[in-house]
């Protein structure tokens, strides 16, 4: 197998292998191990001068998928080329323990910190506040931790928790603290069809007041369409309870449930990775004028500029038709939201990265107070602790 990977493909520029390796590492960092392996295998096909790092990552990711034959294949080849005794010892441990039902969970911990300049500070895009002082600078910290509870015969259960905290310079009443607790059950028993189900509870406080508590249950199916394409189908049920506050005195009127259906098409090429998506949702709120039907569409692209620099961009459109006549008007509310974003990430190492991003939003509404423009510029530093 390794012989075919190393010598079956024609020779390409070394930069191609570096780009594929970088993209594979990014996929691995977000848990998309199968996609990461595909990219790393293509990197190996480019016949790089120093394939040790690629072989090591292929062996490590194969271990996570309990593909013990590939673990041994890749890591033995890695050891033949490596002069790093510490990594060779680690590789031996992966080979020796692959296939065991491990009693202890595998853990992850990531930390993101940085700054944002927001030209129109709001909590949720569909519920802005009309006020004179709109712009502000904020710092934020975002912690995410996870544990793999078990992974047996292609069925994996994982749990995760995240904490988000923002601190504004002027608009301190918009300081947000968000807690999210969830679990995901993946079924990786087929290379063609991969379903998963998940549950999350999302709790948000706005400065010192309760803002919302949200339950989400979702189902997702990824259907492979070849080595470079896949289709993703999703459904989400959401039940939200909002609390009234000084800033949002009628917030509880928005409490209710929502059904969302979506589809996404992913396409990978040698140089970039892109996707298109469609979604629709039916939301029913306590007060009818907050109930709505949403239609959305968008596209995104991920382009590795070089080995340690990645560029991504997204554009999307959402239309919301609200049911009842909005108070103080003679019409039902209708919103059209346009959003575009661009993000540049520099990988300082496998664990550390710096990200610069910008998100621009235009919400066009027929009801005064919901018509707004917003621009958020962000600078983040992220670290993979575990």
Give the least confident one: 72-76, 85-89, 179-183.
85-89
**Can you tell me which residue has the tokens 């602790």?**
385
Q: How far apart are CA 162 and CA 165, in angstroms?
A: 10
Give the least confident one: 4-8, 277-281, 359-363, 382-386.
4-8
- Rounded to whole angstroms, the maximal C-alpha distance in the chain is 76
Residue 296 backbone dihedrals phi, psi, to 5 degrees: -145, 155
51 Cα distance to chain centroid: 29
Q: Which residues pair with 271 in a beta bridge?
A: none
Q: What is the pLDDT of residues 312-331, one digit of tens each?
A: 999 999 999 999 898 888 88
Average pLDDT over residues 58-75: 87
Q: Which residues contact 264 (CB under 8 A, 6 or more apart)?
A: 231, 232, 234, 275, 276, 277, 278
In the predicted structure, residue 53 carries a pLDDT above the cut 70: yes
- Domains (range + CATH), the chain: 2-97 (1.25.40.10), 106-384 (2.40.160.10)
Q: Which helix (H) or strand (E) holds 26?
A: helix 14-29
Residue 200 backbone dihedrals phi, psi, to 5 degrees: -140, 145
Identify the DSSP state of 188: -
Task: State both tokens at 232.
Answer: 């993703």
DSSP line for 28-69: HHTT-HHHHHHHHHHHHHT--S-THHHHHHHHHHHHHTT-HH
What integer pLDDT is reported at residue 384 of this predicted model? Answer: 86
Residues in the chain: 386
In the predicted structure, residue 295 carries a pLDDT above the cut 60: yes
What integer pLDDT is reported at residue 16 of this predicted model? Answer: 74
Q: How far apart are CA 337 and CA 258, in angstroms?
A: 19
User: Coil, strand or helix: which one is 18?
Assistant: helix
Through-space distance between the first and last CA atoms of the chain, rounded to whole angstroms: 32
Q: What is the pLDDT of residues 107-117, one digit of tens each?
A: 889 999 999 99
- Residue 100: pLDDT band (50, 70, 90) is low
What integer pLDDT is reported at residue 99 of this predicted model? Answer: 64
Q: What is the pLDDT of residues 208-264, one digit of tens each?
A: 899 999 999 999 999 987 667 889 999 999 999 999 988 889 999 999 999 999 999
Nearest to 382 by CA among 141, 24, 21: 141
Q: How far apart are CA 251 and CA 211, in angstroms?
A: 8
Q: How far apart are CA 147 and CA 344, in angstroms?
A: 29
Identify the DSSP state of 11: P
Sequence-separated contacts (24+) of 80-86 with Cβ below 8 Å: 81/51, 81/52, 81/55, 82/52, 82/56
């Amino acid at each position: 197998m390794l012989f075919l990977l190393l010598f079956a493909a024609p020779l390409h520029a070394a930069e191609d292998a570096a780009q594929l390796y970088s993209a594979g590492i990014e996929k691995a960092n977000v848990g998309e191990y199968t996609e990461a392996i595909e990219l790393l295998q293509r990197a190996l096909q480019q016949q790089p001068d120093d394939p040790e790092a690629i072989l090591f990552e292929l062996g490590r990711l194969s271990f996570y998928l309990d593909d013990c034959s590939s673990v041994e294949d890749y890591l033995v080849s890695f050891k033949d080329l490596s002069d790093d005794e510490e990594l060779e010892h680690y590789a031996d441990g992966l080979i020796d323990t692959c296939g065991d039902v491990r009693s202890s969970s595998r853990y992850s911990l990531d930390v993101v910190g940085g700054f944002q300049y927001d030209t129109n500070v709001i909590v949720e895009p569909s519920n802005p506040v009309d006020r004179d002082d709109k712009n502000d600078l904020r710092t934020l910290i975002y912690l995410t931790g996870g544990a793999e509870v078990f992974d047996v015969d292609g069925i994996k259960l994982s749990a995760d928790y995240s904490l988000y905290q923002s601190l504004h310079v002027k608009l301190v009443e918009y300081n947000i603290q968000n807690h999210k607790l969830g679990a995901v059950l993946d079924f990786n028993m087929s290379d063609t069809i991969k379903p998963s189900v998940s549950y999350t509870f999302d709790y948000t406080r706005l400065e010192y007041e309760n803002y919302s508590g949200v339950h989400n249950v979702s189902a997702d199916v990824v259907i492979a369409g070849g080595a470079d394409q896949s289709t993703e189908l999703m459904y989400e049920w959401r039940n939200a309870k909002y609390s009234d506050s000084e800033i949002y005195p009628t917030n509880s009127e928005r409490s209710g449930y929502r059904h969302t259906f979506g589809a996404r098409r992913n396409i990978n090429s040698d140089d970039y990775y892109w996707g298109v998506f469609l979604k629709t949702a039916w939301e029913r709120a306590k007060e009818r004028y907050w109930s709505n039907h949403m239609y959305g569409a968008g596209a995104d692209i991920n382009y590795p500029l070089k080995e340690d620099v990645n560029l991504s961009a997204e554009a999307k459109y959402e239309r919301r038709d609200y049911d009842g006549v909005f108070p103080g008007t003679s019409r039902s509310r209708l919103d059209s939201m346009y959003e575009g974003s661009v993000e540049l990430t520099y990988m300082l190492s496998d664990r550390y990265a710096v990200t610069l991003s910008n998100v621009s939003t235009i919400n066009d509404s027929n009801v005064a107070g919901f018509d707004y423009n917003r621009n958020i510029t962000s600078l983040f530093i992220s670290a993979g602790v575990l």
